[in-house]
A and B are shown apart, each in its own frame.
Chain A
Amino acid sequence: MGRRITTFGRIIHTGFIYFIRNAWLAIAAMAIMVITLSIILFSIIVNATFSNTVAQITSKIDISVYLKDSTTQVQTNEFLAGIRKQPNVQSVTYLNKAAALQAFMQQNAGNAQLLQAVNETDNPLPATIKIKPIDLNKIDDIRAYVTQTKWQALQSDPVSDNGERRATIDKITHATNIVREAGIIAVAVLALISVLIIFNTIQMAIFNRRDELQIMRLLGATTWYIRGPFVIETIIYGVLSAIISILLINALFITASGSLQATSFGLLDIGYSQHYFQKYYWQLLSMQLVLGILIGAVSSIIATRRYLKFKTSKK
């Protein structure tokens, strides 16, 4: 047991020595790793932001049903209960005439002329039922229900469901989906390229020391005693790269929020991106660390394999 701990300590110690000795190679490998990890991080944030944008716009969609002034309380309650039973209904809000008027006045608070005109008349607004759907694509089911002849008789005006907005949302969803898919492909390709470059860099470092590896082998060093320090060295690359990439994205946000004041940048709501980044800071950092360590360790294990093989073929 004591020997194992001693050996483990030596492997880690040697790993740090290798890291310091190969400073230049380390910088090359880490530069690539930082770029990859930053791109991955960036695309995750962009993806989350797009999803958020779509969700926000979606949440603004509802169906409004306007009731005749002659509708009784009993009829209204029956109608509301019927709507609530529909499977695609998320929430139902009932505004009586007074509440509808209040809401209207709040919405048009800046328009004094309009408000005055409304005040001078008897409340012209109908009682309103606002229905929020769960799935936007199935909004027609709700519309079909509320426009049944039975309910149609209660209504003063045609049902409105902000159809124009919906078309816009479809466009946005479509656009974000394309961006997302393209992003995934780009990240996958970049990650692959960077693994190859990191692999090559480490392969080069090991090639330079192949004599040393052979000597260790001849002296009876086990595979992991030889390989361990290289793996530790590349894990250090991974850890540092993860931290640098997080700092890089952090700096990007500081610059972006300074110059753009966190306003929307086309479809990209930078304010939300920043919020997301800060909220999931530790999770994102952990993910970067895991990715960095994984890329580094796998590359070095594969790169050392060739030099650590025993001659097994008995020909």
Chain B
Amino acid sequence: MLTGGHAIILLMILLDRVTKTYNKNLGAALERVSLHVEPKEFVIVVGQSGAGKSTLLKLLTREERPTSGKIIVGGIDYDKLPDKNIPLLRRKIGTVFQDFKLLPNRTVFENVAFALEIVGASSKEINNTVPRVLDIVNLKDKAKRMPIELSGGERQRVAIARAIVRQPKILIADEPTGNLDPKHAWDVIHVLEKINRYGTTVLLTTHNQDIVNKLKRRVVTIKNGKIVSDRANAQYSEKPTTTSEA
């Protein structure tokens, strides 16, 4: 893995002293957070509810703007990004949400295809790509189902398929296992690992201690809007209880 410092341009994600305040009376949701993520890294962000994980991800997808600080993702400086180009930025980032955010009245195939339709892909391209991606998330046989007919884990895998179908350099997964039982949670995590092996940078937030410990990846811990630890191959041996109680 590359060591940071000499080449900012090689970083996939750069946050430099980023602060986000929603409401001055409540204090900052994120305070002077700096984070460097290199290409092809798999980073897990842990922290209690309200610690600032979601804010961090919303800043990366440009759903929110920072109060101060610098954000550069995949070489795009958010300060210099005009509003009309926000859709173009989002096309480069795959996003997976805890509540799946699938379009309810479209089939599995159509949901995944939608991400390609947005960018003007031809029907031929769509018909070639979507089945391949559904194969990666092991849902090839459920292409014609509606989201409501699927289990939570299956829905989340549809969401992942949709997030990766445009082959983004970065995949941001916001508590993708939050609503899933352990078996389905692991299905989803395995898919994320597979995608990471193909070369996609993955940023995952989770509450799940078991997943964090078994993955043995870089773990960034956020508490009260600040990064309190950032370690490779973290084990959480110093915190035997779940991270949410930290």
Structural contact, A7 and B101, CB atoms closer than 8 A: no
Contact A312 B83 (CB under 8 A): yes
Given known contacts A218-B90, A220-B89, is B120 in contact with A6 (CB within 8 Å)?
yes
B67 — nearest CB in chain A belongs to which residue? Answer: A315
CA distance A152 to B103 in the complex (A): 92
Known contacts A311-B65, A314-B67, A315-B21: A222-B101 contact under CB 8 Å: no
Q: Tell me which of B65, B95, B119 contacts A218 (CB under 8 A).
A: B95
Complex CA distance for A36 and B83, rounded to whole angstroms:
38
Closest residue to B117 on the A side, CB-wise?
A: A10
Which A residue's beta carbon lies closest to that of B111? Answer: A215
Separation of A219 and B64 alpha carbons in the complex (Å): 15
Chain A positions 1 through 42: 1 when the CB is less than 8 Å from some CB of chain B, otherwise 0: 011101100100000000001000000000000000000000
Mask of A272-315 contacts with B, CB within 8 angstroms, 1/0: 00000000000000000000000000000000000000111111
Is the CB of A221 closer than 8 A to any CB of chain B? yes
How close is B16's CB to chain A, nearest CB, in angstroms? 16
Determine how close the nearest CB of chain A comes to the CB of B147; give it in whole angstroms.
12
Residues from chain A with a CB closer than 8 A to the CB of B66 are 314
Nearest-CB residue, chain A, relative to B105: A21
- The digit string for B105-116, where 1 denotes a CB below 8 A from any CB of A, is 100000000110
**Total of A-B residue pairs, C-beta within 8 Å:** 68
Q: How distant is A270 from chain B, measured CB to nearest CB, in Å?
A: 50
The CA of A215 and the CA of B84, in the complex, are separated in Å by 17
CA distance A4 to B120 in the complex (A): 7
CA distance A311 to B105 in the complex (A): 28
Cβ contacts B177-195/A at 8 Å (1 or 0 each): 0000000000000000000
Residues from chain B with Cβ under 8 Å of A10 in the complex: 117
Please determine whether A220 and B101 come into contact, CB atoms closer than 8 angstroms.
Answer: no
Q: Quick one: CB contact mask for A202-227 with B, threshold 8 Å, 1 for yes?
A: 00000000011011111111110100
- A2's nearest neighbour on chain B, judged by CB, is B122
Give the contacts of B154-180 with A (CB-CB under 8 A).
162
A222 in contact with B65 (CB, 8 Å): no
Residues B118 and A216 in contact, CB atoms below 8 Å apart: yes
CA distance A21 to B106 in the complex (A): 13
Measured between alpha carbons, how far is A3 from B120 in the docked complex, in Å? 5
A residues less than 8 Å from B103 (CB atoms): 212, 215
Q: In the complex, are the beta carbons of B118 and A221 less than 8 A apart? A: yes
How far in angstroms is the closest Cβ of chain B from A106?
78
Other-chain contact of A6, B62, B63, B122 (Cβ < 8 Å): B122
Chain B residue with the shortest CB-CB distance to A14: B117
* B8 is an interface residue with CB less than 8 A from chain A: no
Category for how many chain B residues contact A = 20 to 34
CB neighbours (8 Å) of B61 from chain A are: 218
Residue pair A218, B67 in contact (C-beta under 8 Å): no
Say yes or no: is B232 at the interface (Cβ < 8 Å to chain A).
no
Contacts of B122 in A (CB 8 A): 2-3, 6
Q: Chain B contact residues: over half helix, strand or loop, or mixed?
A: loop
| Distance, CA A275 to CA B246, complexed state (A) | 85
- Which residues on B sit within 8 Å (CB–CB) of A211? 101
User: Do residues B119 and A220 form an inter-chain contact, with CB atoms below 8 A?
Assistant: yes
Closest chain-A Cβ to B205's Cβ sits at a distance in Å of: 16
A218/B101 contact (C-beta < 8 A), A311-B65, A312-B65, A313-B65 known: yes
Which of chain A's residues have a CB closer than 8 A to the CB of B105?
Answer: 21
Nearest-CB distance from B133 to chain A (Å)? 14
State whether the Cβ of B75 lies closer than 8 Å to any Cβ in chain A: no
* Residue among B65, B67, B122 facing the most chain A CB atoms (10 A cut-off): B65
Question: Does B76 sit within 8 A of A, measured CB to CB?
Answer: no
8 Å CB contact of A219 from B62, B65, B88, B162 = B162
- Residues in A whose Cβ lies below 8 Å from that of B119: 3, 220
Interface string of B62-86 (1 = CB under 8 A from A): 1111110000000000000001101
The answer to whether the Cβ of B87 comes within 8 Å of any Cβ in the partner chain is yes
0/1 interface trace, chain B 220-242, chain A, CB 8 Å (1 if under): 00000000000000000000000
A6 to B64, CA, bound (A): 31
Query: What's the minimum C-beta distance from B59 to chain A, rounded to whole angstroms?
Result: 11
Residue interface bits B96-136, CB-to-A below 8 A is 1, else 0: 01000111110000000011011111110000000000000
Which of chain B's residues have a CB closer than 8 A to the CB of A313?
Answer: 65
Task: Say whether A220 contacts B91, CB under 8 Å.
Answer: yes
Given the interface contacts A218-B63, A218-B101, A219-B90, does A7 sit within 8 Å of B115 by beta carbon? Answer: no
- Among residues of A, the one whose C-beta sits closest to the C-beta of B89 is A220
CA separation between A220 and B95, bound complex, in Å?
A: 10
By beta carbon, the residue of chain B nearest A5 is: B120
Is A220 a contact of B87 with CB atoms below 8 Å? Answer: yes
Q: B104 contacts which chain A residues (CB < 8 A)? A: 212
Q: Are A222 and B67 in contact (CB under 8 A)?
A: no
Q: Would you give the shortest CB distance from B189 to chain A, in whole angstroms?
A: 22
Q: What are the residues of chain A within 8 A of B90 when measuring CB–CB? A: 217-220
Which A residues touch B62, using CB under 8 A?
Answer: 310
Query: Could you tell me which B residues sit within 8 Å of A by CB distance?
Result: 21, 61-67, 83-84, 86-91, 95, 97, 101-105, 114-115, 117-123, 162
Residues of A within 8 A of B (CB): 2-4, 6-7, 10, 21, 211-212, 214-223, 225, 310-315
The 3 closest A-B CB pairs, nearest first, are A3-B120, A220-B90, A220-B91
